[in-house]
Amino acid sequence: MSAQAPSAATQADNKVADAPPPRKVGQATAGGNVARKAGVYVGIAVIIVYCLAPFYWMIVSSLRRPAEVFEKAAVPSPPSMQNYVAVFDPVNNFARALVNSIIVAGVTTVAVLIIGIFAAYALARLDFRGKALALSAIIATSMFPGIALVVPLLKIFTEIGWINTYQALILPSMSFALPLAVWNLTAFFRQMPQELEQAAMVDGCTQWQAFRKVIIPIAAPGVFTTAIIAFVAAWNEFIIALTMTNKSDFYTAVVAISQFQGKTGRDIPVGSQMAAGVILTIPLIVMVLAFQRRIVSGLTAGGVK
């Protein structure tokens, strides 16, 4: 007798038996999520270490004794404040340089905000021929490298007697910070609805009162962010300040650090320079950390419509 053909039920049972075991989808997904999160945290840690390592080494070097400044130990032993005392030696005139930096950065920031707010508001609200060209020209001026302007500015300021003056330091800093301020504030004002001014004017405000009492308070995050950017740029400016001054009474802090001299006049006081760098950096870090929420909101507000 011929063998009986397997039934359909038997074939189905064989296929089920031969099929691979089902994958544990939940476990695989959970494992992938853990690996992804671990990768994110590792990446963040690498970025943090990369950004903070130079600042950490600057602090460590500033706390070494002058004879040990080139040691490679991760922690100074014992820590010393000799470099910080040396920074404020009258020979370095660093205290006066700090005052000069505060004056230059403060005046630059205030002037940039006053001009930038009005210019940005006009560009955001008014329609006139060449507005797009004006915006392009404004942002294009910020692309010129500072070194390209040193010689022309030096010649002009020498002829009009502005060498070793505050205006020779403030005006170039304004020319670098103002285009970015106008561009940022223009984007910020554009995303604010015009109905705000219209509603205020319906309630009896003039256009100036609507701008002063309604628009400016709402635009505070963007204005504050622009102020921080302008202040940091003016605070850290070096090449123009070095070129336009040749007297220590008008040095800014960053220029004064470059002029520090060692005991013999030839050795480089690395420890004192590191200590001065810490003194200059800490106020900026504290200011940014204290107002980081406003800075972030101001940077992101102009990109949302």
Q: Give yes or no: residues 30 and 156 share one domain.
A: no
**Is 50 inside any structural domain?**
yes
Which of 32, 56, 81 represents a domain boundary (last residue)? 81
Q: Give yes or no: residues 74 and 122 share one domain.
A: no
- Length of the chain (residues): 305
Taking phi over 0 as left and psi of -120 to 50 as alpha, with beta for the rest, 145 belongs to beta
**Is 233 inside any structural domain?**
yes
Q: Which two tokens stand for residue 139?
A: 């942002």
149 class by beta-carbon count within 10 Å (0-12 exposed, 13-18 middle, 19+ buried): middle
Q: Give yes or no: residues 70 and 98 share one domain.
A: no
Specify the pTM.
Answer: 0.80
Per-residue model confidence as pLDDT tens digits over 123-160: 888 888 888 888 888 888 878 888 888 999 999 999 99
Least confident span in 35-39, 186-190, 206-210, 291-295: 291-295
What's the distance, Cα to Cα, between the start and end of the chain in Å? 84
Cα–Cα distance measured from residue 192 to residue 285, given in angstroms and rounded to the nearest whole number:
30
Domain of 135, CATH number, reads 1.10.3720.10
**Is 246 inside any structural domain?**
yes
Q: Give yes or no: residues 238 and 182 share one domain.
A: yes
pLDDT value of residue 295: 65
Q: Give yes or no: residues 160 and 30 share one domain.
A: no
Q: What angle do CA 165, 167, 169 make, to 5 degrees?
A: 80
Query: Which range among 8-22, 162-176, 253-267 has the greatest average pLDDT?
Result: 162-176
Q: Give yes or no: residues 136 and 196 share one domain.
A: yes
**Is 38 inside any structural domain?**
yes
Which of 243, 259, 275 represents a domain boundary (last residue)? 259
What's the domain count of the chain?
Answer: 2
Name the residue range of residue 153's domain: 93-259
Is 302:187 a contact under the CB 8 Å cutoff? yes
